[in-house]
Chains A and B, each alone.
Chain A
């Protein structure tokens, strides 16, 4: 557990830093995929197996491919991030991280908690379809709206003219 945690932290943080510093956007997407996989490993460590599978399928399988397609569909856009002024933003992010670190270090650790073993996929499905069924349905409506919206936004003018004739 300890070894796996530190290896996963190293992979995740190095990959996230790679997204930050890579000049080429395609390399940034590949680092992003590595970060997603590392976080899925954390989910396995936290005994959230279903979320880990969903993370791999949705983030690595769908969102990363979507980002990759968007990068490839905008070929003549500037991919270089070279002349960005980073000083102020870097200072803000550093102070925010330092504040969080200070809070974590100075807070006394919580006592040993007893761990319930009701974190499996069956408990999650039961909670989704019994207690949280209304947000579940709202999420499906949101996904449908996003699907329709994405199709509407990416249609070209010729396609709209064709549809108006039909």
Chain B
């Protein structure tokens, strides 16, 4: 049996689901970020699998998209971790359940 597109898509969906579960269930803000990174990685895997297995005029477009997703993920991670450190300086916690300053 050969490995086809659907195998990669299944693994990618599983990693995405685990990332979603992490992002929803962790209480530490840095843990939530780890889930987001896992989800972005799963999307990258999907894009590259499609770029490998699909018949198109320019098959390298999927890889180009993956490069941009990696760039945006790096920017997002740096800003979000800076936010976490900044919140920790002011509140001594990075627990997302306790960041309720705007709750009326």
Contacts and interface: CB of A to CB of B under 8 A. Distances in A.
A70 B30 CA distance: 7
B88 A74 contact: yes
B97 to A, nearest CB: 10
A139 B21 CA distance: 29
B60 A118 contact: yes
Contact of A59 (B37, B76, B92): B37
A78 B9 contact: no
B21 A20 contact: yes
B88 A77 contact: yes
Given A67-B81, A78-B95, A54 B37 contact: no
Interface in A90-117: 90, 92-93, 96-97, 100-101, 104, 107, 109-110, 113-116
Contacts of B77: 63, 66-67
26 contacts: A9-B7, A13-B11, A16-B38, A19-B34, A36-B41, A46-B52, A58-B74, A67-B30, A70-B81, A81-B25, A81-B26, A84-B27, A89-B24, A90-B21, A97-B17, A100-B10, A100-B17, A113-B55, A118-B59, A119-B52, A119-B63, A127-B58, A142-B72, A150-B81, A153-B85, A153-B86
A2 B63 contact: no
Interface string A33-74: 001100100110111101100110011001100110111011
Contacts, number: 228
Nearest to B50: A46
A147 B77 CA distance: 11
B58 A131 contact: yes
Contacts of B37: 32, 59, 63, 67
Interface residues of B, number: 73
Interface residues of A, number: 82
Contacts of B81: 66-67, 69-70, 150
A78 B26 CA distance: 11
Contacts of A28: 31, 34
A51 B63 contact: yes
Contacts of A89: 21, 24-25
A110 B59 contact: no
B71 A142 contact: yes
Residue from B11, B60, B66, B84 having most chain A Cβ neighbours under 10 A = B60
B26 A154 contact: no
Contacts of B5: 109-110
A118 B57 CA distance: 10
